[in-house]
Structure 1
Amino acid sequence: MDALHDLLTHDRIALGVQAHDWRDAIRHAGGLLTSTDATDAGYTEEMIEAVEVNGPYIVIAPGTAFAHARPSGSVHRTALSLIVLTDPVSFGHPSNDPVDLVVALSATDPDTHLAAMKTLSRGLGSGEIRAALRRASSADEVIALIDGAAERPRSLHDEETTRRETHAPSPHTGETVPSKGLILTVCGNGLGTSLFLKNTLEDVLDDWGWSRYMTVEATDTISAKGKSGDADCILTSGEIARALGDLGVPMRVISNFTSTDEIDAALREIYAV
């Protein structure tokens, strides 16, 4: 958990925050990055612009948004911040609004934050933990909740689903279209929400016993268009799917990037298992 603790420090957590709208919420989360010398103030506006351009794809789970933008000169160091709003605000997401839990990421490169993101996605992957974070009374409690969730093994919630999938064929058996062994998860920048989706997808593949056969790559919209021909399928948000258009491979929209059940259902449809 050290990687997460290095990025999500106590002074980058704020509870009981009042925001007028989604832009104000991002400004509060971004302000914690700026006040701790992780970014210039301009980076916060870049996070807002990402939503204005791409839509509310950063709303990754019910009530939860993950704000971020591309690495830029406004980023001094890789860091995370987290705020809990007193009153939720609408981002315009069709199923996950309203939002009262906002995490913000500043990244200097695509790789530094990967270990921390794995821990964070495990922590935010539980609706129970997200609810507990909203009730938290201190930064210590927030960090302890995320740590505790990350330490527990994660698997599909439906025991019947897991039992049936124990005997599923590998994607290379030839029972469906031959697999190329690659799945893309896509967001606007390739280093934030797509990583949440990648981490949850990898948990499903682990549960299926397919991890040895498959590679999951988190990428951005531009790169996805070039890599789509090498992939079995693409998982992404509704907003990004519309921006990508038809790339000639199966594409599935995922509403809750932390839901193993939703991703399990999408993969079953794609691979006909």
Structure 2
Amino acid sequence: MSTLTSLLSENRIALDADADDWRSAVTRAGTLLEDTGSVDHAYTRAMVDSVVDNGPYIVVAPGFAFAHARPSEAVHETAMSWVRLARPVEFGHDRNDPVDLVVALAATDATTHTRAMAQLAKVIGKRATRHALDTAHSPAEVLTILDGRDGGSTDSTDSTSSTDTTGAGTAAEVSSSTADGGRYPGGNSRDHILTVCGNGLGTSLFLKNTTEDVLKRWGWDALVSVEATDTISAKGKAKDADFILTSGEIAKTLGDPGVPVRVVENFTSARAVDAVLRTLYAL
């Protein structure tokens, strides 16, 4: 699995870049990938089209958009670009606009970048590290921060960590609480959660990682599995899941898949995911 800094390079990082709107911001991120031979222009167009088709679902946290499209022949290598904007732009997201950081991913398949996505989710969710990235003076400094060599990325404070995400119960306690037939692991449950985005390989992985982190804090990580998938596949996979976690835009496209669909506004926030899970599991 690729790590975060192995997918970036100084010539794919632009700081204080100008963009008139979200299209030009995403295009700038795509151009950095094009200029280094990682993708063809068709992939940049596909990233823009994905937002046109699905709405601003790529804005997964306050001020942060994760641009991506499906693997295709236009992708020559798995790589990322990083664009910090001089002036924030609006993507049309109800909660997370305006955006001042756009990270783009080009992936040759659906698996090699998963470790990097987990690392990026943690980075974006930490106040100290995000502040350091927002004030970095050079691409080299960005890479140093992401690599943890400045100490910033060791800060484990979630930007919304004021909610306690522990105490949901041990495996034995959970098992004994299912007598009423509630949706708990081992009870009236499929023990499976779907996280969904338009393509199933970018933003849904952010949400999957955060959901798994919350379940681990609860002591439920061995009881409940989490799968990242795309909107089309989710409709078929829903019958094997307890519920779906996704963005507001994707929730609209899913309609009624036969299981509860819940919206998470900040995909990198343990507190946001914890609150949704507690509601769904009636804790």
Please classify the TM superposition score into its range, dividing by the shorter chain length: over 0.9
1:252 aligns with 2:262: yes
**Alpha-carbon distance in 1 for matches of 2:4, 2:122:** 12
Is the alpha carbon distance of 1:163 and 1:195 closer, same or farther for their aligned partners in structure 2, counting shifts above 3 Å? closer
**Structure 1 unmatched ranges of 5 or more:** none
User: Could you tell me how far 1:132 is from its partner in structure 2?
Assistant: 2.4
Match of residue 158 from structure 1: 162
Letter in 2 for 1:90: E
**Alpha-carbon distance in 2 for matches of 1:170, 1:82:** 42
**Alpha-carbon distance in 2 for matches of 1:64, 1:47:** 15
User: Could you tell me how far 1:226 is from its partner in structure 2?
Assistant: 0.3
**Alpha-carbon distance in 2 for matches of 1:231, 1:171:** 19
Match of residue 191 from structure 1: 201
**Alpha-carbon distance in 2 for matches of 1:173, 1:181:** 15
CA RMSD of aligned residues (A): 2.0
Match of residue 37 from structure 1: 37
- Secondary structure class of the residue paired with 2:85: strand
Match of residue 93 from structure 2: 93
Letter in 1 for 2:241: A
- How many residue pairs end up in the alignment? 272
**Alpha-carbon distance in 2 for matches of 1:157, 1:228:** 30
Match of residue 12 from structure 2: 12
User: Could you tell me how far 1:120 is from its partner in structure 2?
Assistant: 1.1
Letter in 1 for 2:280: I
- Secondary structure class of the residue paired with 2:100: strand
Percent same amino acid at aligned positions? Answer: 54
Which sits farther off after the overlay, 238-247 or 148-157? 148-157
Letter in 1 for 2:131: A
Is the alpha carbon distance of 1:24 and 1:52 closer, same or farther for their aligned partners in structure 2, counting shifts above 3 Å? same
Match runs of 1:218-237 below 5 Å = 218-237=228-247
Conserved 8 A contact 1:181-1:214? yes
Higher helix share: 1
Letter in 1 for 2:53: V
User: Could you tell me how far 1:150 is from its partner in structure 2?
Assistant: 5.0
**Alpha-carbon distance in 1 for matches of 2:133, 2:156:** 19
**Alpha-carbon distance in 1 for matches of 2:200, 2:38:** 20
1:202 to 176, 193, 212: 212
Q: Normalising to structure 2: TM-score of the pair? A: 0.90
**Structure 2 unmatched ranges of 5 or more:** none
Is the alpha carbon distance of 1:123 and 1:163 closer, same or farther for their aligned partners in structure 2, counting shifts above 3 Å? closer
User: Could you tell me how far 1:210 is from its partner in structure 2?
Assistant: 0.4
User: Could you tell me how far 1:4 is from its partner in structure 2?
Assistant: 1.7
Match of residue 48 from structure 2: 48
- Secondary structure class of the residue paired with 2:147: helix
Conserved 8 A contact 1:171-1:179? no
